[in-house]
Amino acid sequence: MQLISMQSEPLVKEKSWDKSFEPPLYQTWKEDRLYSFDRDSDKPLFSIDTPPPYVNTPVHIGQTTTYVLMDMFARFHRMTGHNIIFPLGLDRNGLPIEMAAEKKFKVRLNNTEREKFLEMCRTVLEESSATSTDSFLRCGIAFSSWKFGPEVGDAYMTDSPEYRAVTQATFIDMWNNGLIYESERTNNYCPGCRTTLADAEVDYIDIPTKFYDLAFKVKETGEEIIIATTRPELLGSCAMVIYNPADARYKKLAGKHAIVPLFNKEVPIKEHPIADIEKGSGLVMMCSFGDLSDIRFFREMNLAPIYSIGVDGRLNENAGPGAGLPVKKGREAIVAALQEKRLIRAAKDIMHRTPICERSKDPIEFIAMKEFYAKQLDQRDRMMKMADDLNFFAPESRKILIDWINSLSIDWPISRRRYYATEVPLWYCRKCEEPYVPPKGKYYRPWKERPPVKACPKCGHTEFIGEARVFDTWFDSSITALYILGYGRDDEFFIKHQQCTVRPQGKEIVRTWLYYTLLKCYLLTRKQIFRDAWINYHIVDNTGNKMSKSVGNVIDPQKILDQFGAEPFRLWAATEGNLTQQDFRCSNDRIIAAGKSLNKLWNVAKYVSMFQRPAERPKKLSPLDQWILNEIHGIAMESRVGFENYDFHNPSIRLRHFLWDTFASHYVELSKNRAYNSAGNFTKEEQESALWTLHECLNIFLRVMAPITPFITSKLYEEIYGADVHAESFPEPSGEEKFEVPFLTSELEEMNSAIWKAKKDKGLSLKDEVTFASIHEKFKIIKHDLVHAHTIRKLEFGEFKLDLPATPAPKAEH
């Protein structure tokens, strides 16, 4: 027989995978045209509306994990023939930046000149933006571009002039379509800092306060009723007295009126479920505004609010004896007045959970201010329809959006009295006060610029006052999907691609980012902006707790990358759990464990690369080879279906099992003799069949794994097949034949295990021979491989039975 040498030094030289292989690869990818967006491609578009991270702190491990998963979406779809928009975006507007600037320069927004303050924000941004993208780069994220610019596919920042111009353009459109109006609303207000606060700047603490029982009179009967309150200074704002419908004590008061003490004002008494029978006397005076529940109540009851606190944080003329005093002093004055008239029946010391200013620690007041609103309540049905039509991954997350839509009670307040954000693009005529809206397309700063008109279109006056307010950051970030598709900058492109494929985001911002994006994009385009929504849970620390700076359990992705490199981290991210269904923990041990699979792949590839790949597929494939080809084709198909549904978790577990068990332990072991064929036990055709199959399996496996582990697959594919795996196509389900194989994979594995176990039980080495074996007839067709793999002297078919040679006595057990 002619012996053929098809074996040589492995093409893969290094002993194992090493993280030092990564930097040259990601540097290449950064510049590679393969990943850049091709505007004129006629491939179908796959666009990912990446969540732009805030740059005031470096990205954390949770963000890097979700970006790694998004990168898998992008890489997979690129291999299935899509043109990809996978943009790098940075969110740089708003409160977090301002707070960082205030801290760094030890200033307050409200006592710093606007221009100077913005300069401070920019300084903070300069310092922080660079470190944020480095983790992404090191993770192997293949963004469409790393260069910041105005073109579709370019990296963007939400505070760039072109982004802000688009934000303003959306406002101008909405304004012109009558979707914006101005109305009075209640704000958090800090009397100490003399500024409105965002909810994020409000803390809650328990502070001691007095709970006063005040004596009211019932107008119709003259009887005295007791109302308990911690806010007697708001008596003048009392507009109604309520009790719980289930409270028998007060049924008799229905329809009657209460006389407010000191003010001698008459207010209705009504039933309302928000009154708690157990609290105080069970009777509640409803004022504008003691707290946010009052606000909601006034809105619901359609009551005209009476404001007792002004923008200066002092009580006003509506507060009677407290007028002109700061809140605290005013309360004392009113209490004194009540005491004098003997209207306080009791005063109890209680601990009261009070909203305070995060920085000055002053109690928050709620005061009314005029703000802009975007209409949303009349879109509720439309929003419900979209919630229904949108594909949610996982489907359970749809409920979050539906619940939110159902709970909407007010329109969307979009203006803020802040600085580092997109300016509301309006001017007002100094004479007739008519608002002037500029044309779309430019970035406007009305607080420091003249409007782009000479004179007021209404009265002809030439002096204007620029609007000082800015937008809520959600007004900016709710257009990322439009922005990345070129809306307002490349309308030719946008007209062809009006729907973004997928929105990946955290579940905690469904009610904000997802909702506002759907709403705003609908108002502007009358279309549903997303096809899919991929909603993720969180990465928690290794004990299952949420990471937070104050607890000090935050895991820095840079450290993970320094220690392990990106590839084990990526494989871990795919394998560890399904992030659309629950949180998962970040632990070094498990990332290290994932790394072991890389080494396994490395060595399998090294083994396969020792053999020459036959130039053509052999006409006749050995039965064992047909079996493993069925397996790899099946798993490639399953992976494809999984990946298309954003599931990398289940496929990666199946792939790992294929690699370690099915392929390495069973196929490679059984086919090894045939592949080497050093003793000439097999024909040339049989050997070639093995070699071709080994390569076919490895080749497909590398292509399937490429989206998950781009580094190792790239390096192996390049070294063995001389091509860029990421430019290859994902294994196709069609065209792969299905072979008839008489045994199941599990049956084969069990049979092998039974032989291995028998040898082991006898204290034999696995290469020791089996003197006689009887196995099921279904394995007859792979007889030759089995005989050589297990070193079987005599093989028959029938009931399972093994005869092993006499062995040295088993080692004594202790």
Partner RNA sequence: GGGCCUGUAGUCGAAUGGUUAAGACGUCACCCUGACACGGUGAAGACUCGGAGUUCGAUUCUCCGCGGGCCCACCA
Which residues, 652 to 691, sit near RNA by CB under 7 A?
A: 653, 656-657, 660, 664-665, 668-669, 672-673, 676, 678
Looking at 650, 683, 771, 774, which residue binds RNA (CB under 7 A)?
A: 650
Which of residues 544 and 735 has its CB atom nearest to RNA in the complex?
Answer: 544
Q: Which residue has the tokens 């003793």?
A: 679
Q: How far is the CB of 812 from RNA (least distance, A)?
A: 10
Phi, psi at 220, each rounded to 5°: -70, -35
Peptide bond into 494 cis (omega under 30): no
Which of residues 264 and 409 has its CB atom nearest to RNA in the complex?
Answer: 409
Residue 307 CA to residue 189 CA, distance in Å, equals 14
Which of residues 170 and 237 has its CB atom nearest to RNA in the complex?
Answer: 237
Q: How far is the CB of 478 from RNA (least distance, A)?
A: 15
Residues 425-464, mask of contacts with RNA (x by CB under 7 A): ----------------------------------------
Which of residues 93 and 671 has its CB atom nearest to RNA in the complex?
Answer: 671
299 binds RNA (CB under 7 A): no
Sites for RNA among residues 489-528 (CB under 7 A)? 507-508, 511
Contact 393, 581 (CB under 8 A): no
Q: How far is the CB of 750 from RNA (least distance, A)?
A: 9
Q: How far is the CB of 66 from RNA (least distance, A)?
A: 14
Q: What is the number of other CB atoms lying within 10 angstroms of the CB of residue 596?
A: 14
SS3 84: strand
Residues 741-780, mask of contacts with RNA (x by CB under 7 A): -----------xx--xx--x--x-xxx-------------
Which of residues 291 and 718 has its CB atom nearest to RNA in the complex?
Answer: 291
723 binds RNA (CB under 7 A): no
Which of residues 386 and 591 has its CB atom nearest to RNA in the complex?
Answer: 591
Which of residues 352 and 442 has its CB atom nearest to RNA in the complex?
Answer: 352
Q: Which residue has the tokens 């708001």?
A: 234
Q: What is the number of other CB atoms lying within 10 angstroms of the CB of residue 427?
A: 24
Which of residues 453 and 653 has its CB atom nearest to RNA in the complex?
Answer: 653
Residue 418 CA to residue 420 CA, distance in Å, equals 6
189 binds RNA (CB under 7 A): no
Sites for RNA among residues 225-254 (CB under 7 A)? 228-231, 242
Phi-psi region of 791 (alpha: psi -120 to 50; beta: other; left: phi over 0): left
Residues 543-572, mask of contacts with RNA (x by CB under 7 A): -xxx--------------------------
Sites for RNA among residues 278-297 (CB under 7 A)? 278-280, 282, 284-285, 290-293
Residue 564 CA to residue 569 CA, distance in Å, equals 7
Sites for RNA among residues 382-421 (CB under 7 A)? 396, 399-400, 403-404, 407
Residue 641 CA to residue 551 CA, distance in Å, equals 41
Q: How far is the CB of 535 from RNA (least distance, A)?
A: 10
Which of residues 287 and 500 has its CB atom nearest to RNA in the complex?
Answer: 287
Residue 296 CA to residue 367 CA, distance in Å, equals 14
Which of residues 165 and 598 has its CB atom nearest to RNA in the complex?
Answer: 598
Q: How far is the CB of 801 from RNA (least distance, A)?
A: 17
The one segment of 253-261, 378-386, 445-453, 648-656 that binds RNA by CB under 7 A: 648-656
Which of residues 577 and 614 has its CB atom nearest to RNA in the complex?
Answer: 577
What's CA 795's distance to the chain center, in Å? 59
Number of residues in contact with RNA under rule CB under 7 A: 89
Sites for RNA among residues 585-604 (CB under 7 A)? 585, 587, 589-590, 593, 595-596, 598-600, 603-604
H, E, C per residue of 688-719:
HHHHHHHHHHHHHHHHHHCCCCHHHHHHHHHH
645 binds RNA (CB under 7 A): no
SS3 585: strand
Peptide bond into 289 cis (omega under 30): yes
541 binds RNA (CB under 7 A): no
The one segment of 120-128, 412-420, 636-644, 651-659 that binds RNA by CB under 7 A: 651-659
Looking at 199, 378, 492, 616, which residue binds RNA (CB under 7 A)?
A: 199
Q: How far is the CB of 676 from RNA (least distance, A)?
A: 4
612 binds RNA (CB under 7 A): no
582 binds RNA (CB under 7 A): yes
Which of residues 254 and 653 has its CB atom nearest to RNA in the complex?
Answer: 653
Q: How far is the CB of 330 from RNA (least distance, A)?
A: 15
Residue 63 CA to residue 34 CA, distance in Å, equals 24
Contact 390, 530 (CB under 8 A): yes
Which of residues 85 and 755 has its CB atom nearest to RNA in the complex?
Answer: 755
Looking at 649, 715, 784, 790, which residue binds RNA (CB under 7 A)?
A: 649
Q: How far is the CB of 742 from RNA (least distance, A)?
A: 20
Q: How far is the CB of 148 from RNA (least distance, A)?
A: 29
**For 361, how many CA atoms within 13 A lie in the half-sphere containing its CB?**
3
Which of residues 129 and 354 has its CB atom nearest to RNA in the complex?
Answer: 354
Contact 425, 171 (CB under 8 A): yes
| Residue length of the chain | 814
262 binds RNA (CB under 7 A): no
Which of residues 130 and 766 has its CB atom nearest to RNA in the complex?
Answer: 766
Which of residues 34 and 410 has its CB atom nearest to RNA in the complex?
Answer: 410
Contact 507, 535 (CB under 8 A): yes
218 binds RNA (CB under 7 A): no
Write out the DSSP string of 535-591: EE--EE-TTSPPP-TTTT-PPPHHHHHHHH-HHHHHHHHHHS--TTTS-EE--HHHH
8 binds RNA (CB under 7 A): no
Residue 661 CA to residue 668 CA, distance in Å, equals 10
Phi-psi region of 282 (alpha: psi -120 to 50; beta: other; left: phi over 0): left
Contacts of 647 (CB under 8 A, 6+ apart): 578
Q: How far is the CB of 660 from RNA (least distance, A)?
A: 5
- Both tokens of 552, joined, read 């000090």
Contact 456, 480 (CB under 8 A): no
- As a whole number of Å, the CA-based R_g of the chain is 36
Residue 280 CA to residue 216 CA, distance in Å, equals 14
610 binds RNA (CB under 7 A): yes
Residue 154 CA to residue 365 CA, distance in Å, equals 44
Sites for RNA among residues 335-354 (CB under 7 A)? 352-354
Contact 87, 154 (CB under 8 A): yes
Tell me how far CA of residue 362 lies from CA of 100, 312, 313, in angstroms: 21, 14, 11
Q: How far is the CB of 513 from RNA (least distance, A)?
A: 11
9 binds RNA (CB under 7 A): no
Q: How far is the CB of 585 from RNA (least distance, A)?
A: 5
What's CA 762's distance to the chain center, in Å? 55
Which of residues 599 and 774 has its CB atom nearest to RNA in the complex?
Answer: 599
Structural element, H or E, at residue 416:
strand 415-416
Q: How far is the CB of 538 from RNA (least distance, A)?
A: 6
Residue 813 CA to residue 806 CA, distance in Å, equals 19
Contacts of 300 (CB under 8 A, 6+ apart): 409
The one segment of 15-23, 25-33, 792-800, 801-809 that binds RNA by CB under 7 A: 15-23
Looking at 607, 719, 781, 795, which residue binds RNA (CB under 7 A)?
A: 607
Peptide bond into 394 cis (omega under 30): yes
Structural element, H or E, at residue 787:
helix 783-790
Q: How far is the CB of 143 from RNA (least distance, A)?
A: 27
Q: What is the number of other CB atoms lying within 10 angstroms of the CB of residue 255?
A: 10
Give every strand in the sheet of 435-436, ordered side by side.
Answer: 435-436, 427-429, 464-466
